[in-house]
């Protein structure tokens, strides 16, 4: 009965590879997000979707492409991975953008 | 654009001592403010928000619009309070986004 789930939990890959992280929420929320937490624990929003529509797209490289097949899912695809992409990526959801956000457990991405 | 500053990266206190985590924000309008907490190996979760005016796990936070601050306080820290704490702000406008401070790690020593 996990509210916001992410897979995989850990991802170790080589530079230059393409990888995806999946996120699902079963809370019926309209808004979903992707955040990046760097090695210094700094959290920064990357994307926000509302009802499958992109509403926030921060300054992230084009190599990052979010995809929302339906309201309950927001996946993150990363092309041509670089060393600097190593971080913990958190998915979150909320009823609307003014409300409390519920976070997934995070995906620790390590690029070698 | 909004900004949230948490000046302390690390706060180390003894069990039973008071703890105060500072949070200052800059935003020209009227924001919604939150404190999120991340315990070791757990997901980020909401601790409290200013509009609810609640005390959660003994923590309180008061919004001071004059000083643009939202400091988090607890009179008697417990070991289980050791965690990473993030102050966050949402502006009350369309397309608003949650902006986090840099986080403060709290270590409560026995």
Q: How far is B66 from chain A (nearest CA, A)?
A: 23
Q: Regarding predicted confidence, which is higher, A36 or A60?
A: A36
pLDDT band at A1 (very low <50, low <70, confident <90, very high): low
CA distances from A83 to A15, A57, A60, A76, B22 (A): 7, 22, 15, 17, 33
Q: Looking at residue A59, which CATH number applies to its domain?
A: 2.60.40.10
Range of the domain at A104: 4-111
Q: What is the pLDDT of residue B92?
A: 75
A43: chain B residues, CB-CB within 8 Å: 44, 86, 100, 103
- Cβ <8 Å between A45 and B44: no
**Nearby residues of A25 by Cβ (< 8 Å), 6 or more positions away:** A3, A4, A5, A32, A72, A73, A91, A93, A102
CA nearest B85 in A: which residue?
A41
At A51 the pLDDT is: 82
Q: What is the pLDDT of residue B109?
A: 96
- Of A49-58, A101-110, B29-38, B81-90, which range is least confident? A49-58
Q: Report whether pLDDT(B94) > 60.
A: no
pLDDT higher than 90, residue A52: no
Are the Cβ atoms of B103 and A41 closer than 8 angstroms? yes
Question: Smallest CA–CA separation between B15 and chain A, in Å?
Answer: 24
- What residue ranges define each of the domains in chain B, with the CATH number in brackets? 3-109 (2.60.40.10)
**Considering its fold, how many domains does chain A have in total?**
1
**Does the structure show a pLDDT above 80 at A30?**
yes
DSSP per-residue letters across B40-65: TTS--EEEEETTT---BTTBEE--BT
């Amino acid at each position: 009965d996990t509210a916001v789930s992410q897979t995989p939990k850990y991802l170790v890959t080589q530079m230059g590879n393409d990888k995806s992280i999946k996120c699902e929420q079963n809370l019926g929320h309209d808004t979903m997000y992707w955040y990046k937490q760097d090695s210094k624990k700094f959290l920064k929003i990357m994307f926000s979707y509302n009802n499958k529509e992109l509403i926030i797209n921060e300054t992230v490289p084009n190599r990052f492409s979010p995809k929302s097949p339906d309201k309950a899912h927001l996946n993150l695809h990363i092309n041509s991975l670089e060393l600097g992409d190593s971080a913990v990526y958190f998915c979150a959801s909320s009823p609307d953008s003014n409300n409390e956000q519920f976070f997934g457990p995070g995906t620790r991405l390590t690029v070698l | 654009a909004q900004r949230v500053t948490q000046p302390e990266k690390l706060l180390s206190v003894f069990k039973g001592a008071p703890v105060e985590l500072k949070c200052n924000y800059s935003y020209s309008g009227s924001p919604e403010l939150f404190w999120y907490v991340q315990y070791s190996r757990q997901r980020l979760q909401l601790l409290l928000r200013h509009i609810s005016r609640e005390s959660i796990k003994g923590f309180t936070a008061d919004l001071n619009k004059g000083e643009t601050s939202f400091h988090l306080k607890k009179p008697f820290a417990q070991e289980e309070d050791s965690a990473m704490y993030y102050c966050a702000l949402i502006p009350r406008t369309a397309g608003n986004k949650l902006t986090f401070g840099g986080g403060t790690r709290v270590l409560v020593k026995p």
